[in-house]
């Protein structure tokens, strides 16, 4: 598996298995087992996904040594404070059945981000977390966090897909030493992405699926990709992307799909911020 080296020297597999919306405990556990069996070594979860226990059971049942795996979880908004991180991160570790995680992210750019970050720095110092980062942070917010704290975020996990390509933000994050990571690379199937003519025609050239074309497009930008499926055959397919290269013509065609806006919602929308602030999950 190809890796990306973060700004603190930690290596992360460039292709990870996402577990968002896999809420049934048995299905989530089996999906993690199947993903690791298929060859994934990078597993991504979050407090708000409500599946950390099932993910932990899948990790334990996989038979793969802990040090061969890269595990990410995220702190939900209600826990974004110094004390909130310290308490809720331990609960996440307990649910996962782990002694440490490889990457811990602040899931959203709200609440007491700076207090939370100081707690994460301390947890990193004592070896409970190997890398720390953010999710859904605009570049200016990530840079602000970096400039006024000891540790520069190692990762910013943001929405990146053919309809919301974030090219300038990817470049800006890299310039700051922050590695971009893509959530919703397939836009959760929106806009008929899996039957898109441009992506389908590129796939036909290489005997690849639309999903494989998208994953390859991101990998060639050195963006970490999170792909999700509960079907073992799709898991294997999404991993089979290291035997072809997109041409400049292919990339130019994909660039024409960019709509320049989220396929889901704006993180600057006051109504969304209020909704997240009110969403108490007791995680």
Q: Is 206 a catalytic residue?
A: no
50 Cβ contact list (under 8 Å, min separation 6): 23, 281, 283
Contact 156, 122 (CB under 8 A): no
| Selected catalytic residue, list 20, 40, 49, 114 | 49
In sequence order, the β-bridge partners of residue 135 are 157
Compute the distance between CA of residue 153 and CA of residue 168 in angstroms, rounded to an integer.
18
The two tokens of residue 153 are: 């975020």
On whether 267 is known to bind a ligand per the annotation, the reply is no
CA proximity to 193, closest of 210, 172, 209: 210
Q: What is the dihedral of CA 234, 15, 191, 209, to 10 degrees?
A: -50
Binding residues: 107
Active site residues: 49
């Amino acid at each position: 598996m190809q890796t990306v080296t973060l700004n603190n020297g930690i290596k992360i597999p460039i292709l990870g298995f996402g577990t968002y919306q896999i809420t049934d405990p048995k299905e989530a556990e089996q999906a993690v087992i199947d993903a690791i069996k298929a060859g994934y070594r990078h597993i991504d979860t979050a407090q708000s996904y409500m599946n950390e226990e099932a993910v932990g059971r899948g990790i334990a049942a996989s038979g793969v040594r802990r040090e061969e795996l890269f595990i990410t979880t995220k702190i939900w908004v209600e826990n974004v404070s110094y004390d909130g991180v310290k308490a809720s991160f331990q609960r996440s570790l307990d649910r996962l059945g782990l002694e440490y995680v490889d990457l811990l992210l602040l899931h959203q750019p709200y609440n007491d981000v700076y207090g939370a970050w100081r707690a994460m720095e301390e947890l990193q110092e004592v070896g409970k977390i190997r890398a720390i980062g953010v999710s859904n942070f605009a570049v200016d917010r990530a840079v602000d966090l970096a400039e006024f704290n000891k540790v520069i975020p190692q990762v910013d996990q943001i929405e990146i897909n053919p309809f919301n390509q974030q090219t300038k933000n990817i470049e800006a994050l890299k310039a700051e030493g922050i590695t971009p990571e893509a959530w919703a690379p397939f836009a959760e199937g929106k806009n008929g992405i899996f039957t898109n003519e441009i992506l389908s025609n590129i796939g036909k050239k290489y005997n690849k699926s639309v999903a494989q074309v998208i994953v390859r497009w991101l990998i060639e930008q050195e963006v970490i990709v999170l792909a999700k499926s509960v079907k073992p055959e799709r898991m294997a397919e999404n991993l089979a992307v290291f035997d072809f290269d997109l041409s400049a013509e292919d990339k130019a065609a994909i660039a024409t799909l960019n709509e320049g806006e989220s396929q889901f919602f704006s993180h600057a929308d006051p109504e969304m911020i209020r909704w997240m602030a009110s969403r108490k999950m007791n995680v």
